[in-house]
């Protein structure tokens, strides 16, 4: 065994149900882009589909893979779709994010007609993140254009927040106000065409910290996987008795142990010298396997319930652990990189601290080549 990711399907289901209950009567959508944040997209989607009003992906290929995997729930593609794939997407009954009134709309209508299908779209509005989306003031005119295209169904109007992880965030209030104003101006046009689209702006953090942003639908990403968007959200929501369970653990085995003398250099660049005679163990995983190189001389994994520090630099496929606190460790001993071992735990949040990043990046960058097992 080189490395195994274990994903708890029961944890995913419990998280999905808790989040859906939190925001009711608003609906809950679950984001499974990026291989379900590293957890395995199709398997995750199948597990939480009964609790989902919608599944969100980024790329059209992800939507098609979900359909091929047996998913029947509504799917929203949040990212761009190249014209060559529009026919397939229309045939797969996946909704598209739309922020264009020119050639892309014409391509989309043409694909719908070729497929004899009416394509659902969610119109994206830029309220201040300044990535994708129509300008808020342009929304009414765009809706007028879309509403006259019988091949399109305006199923949603949405935006995305920039600073919702903060409890005190005037910018979140500003964005919500811009979105509300834009929708209010467009609503008479929508009503005149019999359209009642879902309004959505909240992802995990906003749905937790900003109840006024829940609107008709909330898009849960990181929280689905039992991870918190920020320390503030965890503190606030645990105070409200919301419990989330991390769904992923990562284990491997030592492939060698040895004793080195005091002063021995360990690893590339000789950045670590043994302060005394010590036992070390070799783990057959490195930065190609999702362990950030920033963990060099900084991170720690678990053996026999004890924290064993990484000594020396993390290499592409190996790193070395100090076995001082695990004296019974031997070749074949289990190493827990993420998850619990006895009373000890290493979390994705700790990984994020060691690598100076966020837990989203930690789990999403776990390679798809790692073996994943799905357990109840």
267-299 pLDDT, tens digit per residue, is 999 999 999 999 999 999 999 999 999 999 999
Quickly state the pLDDT bin for 168 (edges 50, 70, 90).
confident
Does 257 lie in the same domain as 160?
no
Which pLDDT band, with edges at 50, 70 and 90, does 50 fall under? very high
Within 10 Å of residue 168's Cβ, how many Cβ atoms? 9
CA distance 49 to 31: 11
CA gap 218, 124 in Å, rounded: 15
pLDDT for residue 1 is more than 70: no
Do 194 and 254 fall into the same domain? no
Give me the mean pLDDT over the 199-207 stretch: 98
In this structure, the answer to whether residues 153 and 203 fall within a common structural domain is yes
CA distance between the termini of the chain: 21
Average of per-residue pLDDT across 304-321:
98
Residue whose entry in the numeric block shows the structure tokens 């000594």: 311
217 and 116 in a common domain: yes
Q: What is the CATH number of the domain that holds 292?
A: 2.40.37.10
Name the 3-class secondary structure at 283.
strand
Q: Clarify whether residues 18 and 57 are in a common domain.
A: yes
Q: Is residue 316 part of a domain?
A: yes
Give the model's pLDDT for residue 37. Answer: 98
Whether the model pTM is above 0.85: yes
Q: Give the catalytic positions in this structure.
A: 33, 268
355 in the same domain as 257: yes
Residues 89 and 151 reside in one and the same domain:
yes
Choosing from 191, 212, 238, the residue where a domain stops is 238
Locate 66 and state its tokens. Answer: 């979900």
What's the confidence (pLDDT) of residue 239?
78
216 and 272 in a single domain? The answer is no
Per-residue model confidence (pLDDT) at position 166: 86
Integer Cα distance of 359 and 347 in angstroms: 9
Q: Is the distance from CB of 203 to CB of 161 less than 8 angstroms? A: yes
Indicate the DSSP class of residue 202. Answer: B
pLDDT cut 70: percent of the chain above it = 100
Among 206, 238, 270, residue at a domain's last position: 238
Counting the structural domains of the chain, the total is 2
Q: Is the pLDDT of residue 74 over 80?
A: yes
Q: Is residue 143 part of a domain?
A: yes
Range of the domain at 119: 9-238
Are the beta carbons of 267 and 311 closer than 8 angstroms?
A: yes
Whether residues 212 and 265 share a domain: the answer is no
DSSP tag of 150: T
Three-class DSSP category at 361 = helix
Burial code (b: 16+ CB inside 10 Å, e: under 16) for 288-311 equals ebbbbeebbeebbbbbbebbbbbb
Q: DSSP letter string over 245-308?
A: ---EEEEEE--EEEEE-TT-EESGGG-EE-SSSEEEEEES--GGGT--GGGTTT-EEEETTEEE
pLDDT above 80 (res 64): yes
Measured between alpha carbons, how far is 161 from 82 in angstroms, rounded to an integer? Answer: 25
238 band by pLDDT with thresholds 50, 70 and 90: confident
Query: Is 90 exceeded by the pLDDT of residue 46?
Result: yes
Surface-to-core class of residue 221, CB atoms within 10 Å of its CB (0-12 exposed, 13-18 middle, 19+ buried)? buried
Q: Using alpha carbons only, how large is the chain's radius of gyration in Å?
A: 24
Closest CA to 147 of 179, 199, 101, 206: 101
pLDDT of residue 131: 96
Omega cis (within 30) before 25: yes
Burial label for 261, CB within 10 Å (0-12, 13-18, 19+), is: exposed
Which residue is listed with tokens 């059209």? 60
- What's the pLDDT at 130? 96
DSSP structural state of residue 216: T
Q: Would you place residue 17 in the very low, low, confident or very high pLDDT band (cuts 50, 70, 90)?
A: very high
């Amino acid at each position: 065994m080189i490395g195994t990711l274990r994903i708890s399907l029961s944890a995913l289901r419990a998280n999905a149900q808790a989040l859906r209950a939190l925001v009711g009567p608003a609906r809950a959508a679950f984001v499974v882009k990026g291989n379900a944040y590293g957890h395995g997209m199709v398997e995750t989607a199948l597990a939480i589909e009964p609790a989902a009003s919608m599944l969100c992906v980024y790329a059209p290929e992800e939507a098609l893979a979900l359909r091929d995997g047996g998913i029947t729930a509504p799917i929203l593609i949040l990212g761009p779709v190249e014209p060559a794939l529009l026919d397939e997407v229309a045939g797969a009954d996946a909704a598209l994010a739309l922020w264009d009134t020119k050639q892309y709309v014409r391509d989309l209508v043409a694909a719908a007609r070729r497929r004899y299908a009416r394509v659902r779209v969610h119109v994206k509005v830029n309220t201040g993140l300044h990535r994708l989306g129509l300008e808020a003031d342009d929304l009414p005119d765009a809706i007028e254009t879309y509403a006259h295209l019988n091949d399109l169904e305006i199923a949603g109007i949405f935006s995305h927040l920039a600073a919702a992880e903060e409890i005190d965030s005037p910018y979140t209030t500003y964005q919500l106000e811009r979105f509300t104003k834009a929708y209010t101006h467009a609503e008479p046009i929508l009503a005149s065409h019999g359209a009642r689209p879902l309004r959505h702006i909240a992802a995990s953090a906003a749905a937790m910290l900003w109840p006024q942003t829940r609107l008709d639908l909330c898009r849960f990403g990181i929280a689905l996987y039992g991870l918190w968007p920020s320390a503030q959200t965890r503190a606030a929501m645990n105070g409200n008795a919301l419990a989330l369970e991390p769904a992923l653990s990562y284990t491997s085995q030592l492939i060698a142990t040895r004793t080195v003398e005091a002063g021995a250099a360990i690893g590339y660049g000789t950045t670590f010298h043994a302060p005394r005679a010590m036992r070390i163990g070799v783990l057959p995983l490195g930065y190609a396997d999702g362990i950030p190189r920033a963990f060099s001389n900084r991170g720690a994994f678990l053996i026999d319930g004890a924290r064993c520090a990484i000594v020396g630099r993390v290499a592409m496929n190996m790193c070395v652990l100090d076995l001082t606190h695990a004296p019974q460790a031997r070749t074949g001993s289990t190493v827990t990189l993420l998850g619990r071992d006895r009373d000890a735990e290493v979390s994705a949040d700790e990984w994020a601290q060691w690598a100076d990043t966020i837990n989203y990046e930690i789990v999403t960058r776990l390679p798809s080549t790692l073996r994943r097992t799905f357990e109840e």
